[in-house]
Amino acid sequence: RQFLDVIHARLSNDYYATTADLLSDLRLIERSLRENRGMHVANGAVRKLIQKVRLFGLHLAPLDIREDARRFSAALTELFRAYGVSEDFAALPEPERQALLKREIAHSRPLFPAEPRFSAVTEQVIATWRMIARAHRRYGKECIDTVIASMTQHASDVLGMLLFACEVGVQDHVDLVPLFETVDDLKAAPQIMRELFQDEIYRAHLAARGMRQQIMLGYSDSNKDGGYLASNWSLYTAQERLAAVCAEYGVQLELFHGRGGSIGRGGGPTNSAILSAPPGTLHGRIKITEQGEVIAYRYSNPAIGRRHLHQVLNAVLIAYIGPRHEPPREAWRAAMETLSAAGERAYRALVYETAGFLDYWQQATPIDELANLPISSRPAKRRSGGFEGLRAIPWVFSWMQCRAIIPSWYGVGYALELFAEQGDEGLLREMYQGWRFFRTLIANVELDLAKADMGIAALYADLVADEALRKSIFSRIQEEHARACYWICRLTDQPELLAKAPVMQRSIARRNPYVDPLNFIQVALLRELRRLPESDPQRAAVLEAVLATINGIAAGMKTTG
């Protein structure tokens, strides 16, 4: 008891520098109890406490640091210009950027100044890396073990992180993780990793990390970029090719899946997603983001949270040590290539190539009003610019609010119909029966098609001022929804959507009467808000009411973005 009081006092005074120091004291108590007839206590409360400390340490949970690769590049550009190393680092060809970074990594002179002297972006980057080193010294190296560069497009984006890590002395203690997000970036990912694995300086970093490489895959921006079919197929093939590259260079791959809560951002049953991954891509370790409303409805109830974790663990064990399922037949892969290309054409024809589409979207959804919600962790846009700079979360969130939900199904009906008309409908049925990836994809599309409501979406379409634009675009959305519903039902042999999932079908049917009135109210409030001038004193109250309906609809649909 006296020693427990000592441990308590030490914890209160931040005496323990690392988790190992605390464990050493606890194990001393455990040994003493075992040697002095205290076996039951040693195997009970003390053992449980030791397990908790081993799991949670002094930091509760390790943190990931994530920053846009372009901000890292901007900081390097400013630093190199100030030191006369390169006038415009960001404008250099990729081989020259890599060569410069490797020279700087090998150089011993300091890169960061002692006092602030650069732009706000550069100073923030410097402060972030210094914070990582400071946290390691104070709380142990486990508290921050991952640094992610979102929108990674080049090997130099990862080498830039390695230079920053070397500058603050944490290069051996954090994983440097590229995040590949767009369809093009997913296709380029294997070659980028090959360039890194061939580099001696980067391989030295990997050796210090146990020859293990985390790679994060973005489900959101790839969907926003090319639609649901193209996104999912790009992610599937990227995993295959990344696993092959890692195996070629003797690197253990750890995939980090950046999945959102909604189907359009990679959501859906986690265990199904794990089991439908390509064979040979899971090597015992996996990371998956849990964000937004998903945290609440999966973990707020202990029993549900425990069941979900059991399902995930079960799926990982089956995928890792269970019987290996055969890779998909070449005919199936060729079919997915065709479906993916067709779906992407249809999606981009609407979203990127239709004149006035952005005007329609801004008027037919509460996208502008979403920016006023005090709930987001990041701004709606990554940078100034048009649609490409918009984050995927508000993109999906806005379409969920108006109940059209096009990110998760637009282009699927067109692709299935086109493929079937070429005489290959039987092959689609064969893929659905025999390929878990394709079956999971179709199930996810079916769910959001069922959740979508074209009647409610028509109310929002009426907010579009240009009648010709309104009719033109909404008729295309309506037609594609009907087409997708028809082909999903035909492919799955159902008279209607979710006929084989009656519990889910009943849940949606019972929920809608409670959510629908909020949509009617939101449309009326949006019309009123947009009529009021910015200076009108009533505008703040109307906006507050609109935001309340946004929260209500999100809660009812169980989805934000």
Instruction: Confirm if 314 and 358 have CB atoms less than 8 A apart.
Output: no
Q: What is the mean pLDDT of residues 48-67?
A: 92
DSSP 174-215: SEEEEEE-SHHHHHHHHHHHHHHHT-HHHHHHHHHTTSEEEE
What is the spatial distance between Cα 220 and Cα 231, in angstroms, rounded to a whole number? 9
Positive or negative CA dihedral for 279, 281, 287, 291? Answer: negative
End-to-end CA distance of the chain: 51
Across 178-204, b (16+ Cβ under 10 Å) vs e yields bbbbbbebbebbbebbbbbbebebbbe
> Phi, psi at residue 226, to the nearest 5°?
-135, 5
Axis crossing angle, helix 454-461 with helix 502-531, rounded to the nearest 10: 10
Across 12-49, b (16+ Cβ under 10 Å) vs e yields eeeebeebeebbebbeebbeebeeeeeeeebeeebeee
For 301-349, what is each residue's pLDDT tens digit? Answer: 999 999 999 999 999 888 888 777 788 999 999 999 999 999 999 999 9
What is the spatial distance between Cα 229 and Cα 266, in angstroms, rounded to a whole number? 11
Q: How confident is the model at residue 561 (pLDDT cuts 50, 70, 90)?
A: low
The residues carrying an active-site annotation are: 224
Q: How confident is the model at residue 266 (pLDDT cuts 50, 70, 90)?
A: confident
Name the amino acid, one letter, at 416: L
Burial class (CB in 10 A: 0-12, 13-18, 19+), 432: middle
486 vs 59: which has the higher pLDDT: 486
- Chain centroid to CA 502: 30
Residue 222's pLDDT is 82
Sheet strands side by side (includes 212-218) = 63-68, 144-150, 175-180, 212-218, 252-258, 286-288
- Out of 260-269, 448-457, 473-482, 512-521, pick the least confident: 260-269
Across 312-331, b (16+ Cβ under 10 Å) vs e yields beebbeebeeeeeeeebeee
For 80-97, what is each residue's pLDDT tens digit? Answer: 999 999 999 999 999 999
- Out of 18-27, 266-275, 548-557, pick the least confident: 266-275
Residue 286: its H or E element = strand 286-288
Instruction: Confirm if 215 and 242 have CB atoms less than 8 A apart.
Output: yes
Residue 379's pLDDT is 54
What is the spatial distance between Cα 158 and Cα 148, in angstroms, rounded to a whole number? 9
What domains are there in the chain, each with its CATH number? Answer: 2-56 (no CATH), 63-321 (3.20.20), 330-557 (no CATH)
pLDDT at 383 > cutoff 90: no
Burial class (CB in 10 A: 0-12, 13-18, 19+), 218: buried
DSSP 484-516: HHHHHHHHHT-SSTTTT-HHHHHHHHHHHHHHH
Burial class (CB in 10 A: 0-12, 13-18, 19+), 153: buried
For 341-381, what is each residue's pLDDT tens digit? Answer: 999 999 999 999 999 999 999 999 999 998 888 765 555 55
Quote the mean pLDDT of the chain. 92
Share of the chain above pLDDT 90, in %: 74
Burial class (CB in 10 A: 0-12, 13-18, 19+), 338: middle
H helix runs in 384-466, sequence order: 392-401, 412-419, 425-434, 436-451, 454-461
Residue 557's pLDDT is 87
Q: Strand 252-258 vs strand 144-150: parallel, antiparallel, or unpaired?
A: unpaired
Q: How confident is the model at residue 424 (pLDDT cuts 50, 70, 90)?
A: confident
Q: How confident is the model at residue 382 (pLDDT cuts 50, 70, 90)?
A: low
Residue 14's pLDDT is 86
Q: What is the mean pLDDT of residues 191-201?
A: 97
* 21 HSE (CA, 13 A, CB side): 12
Residue 37's pLDDT is 87
11: left (phi over 0), alpha (psi -120 to 50) or beta: alpha
For 429-445, what is each residue's pLDDT tens digit? Answer: 999 999 999 999 999 99
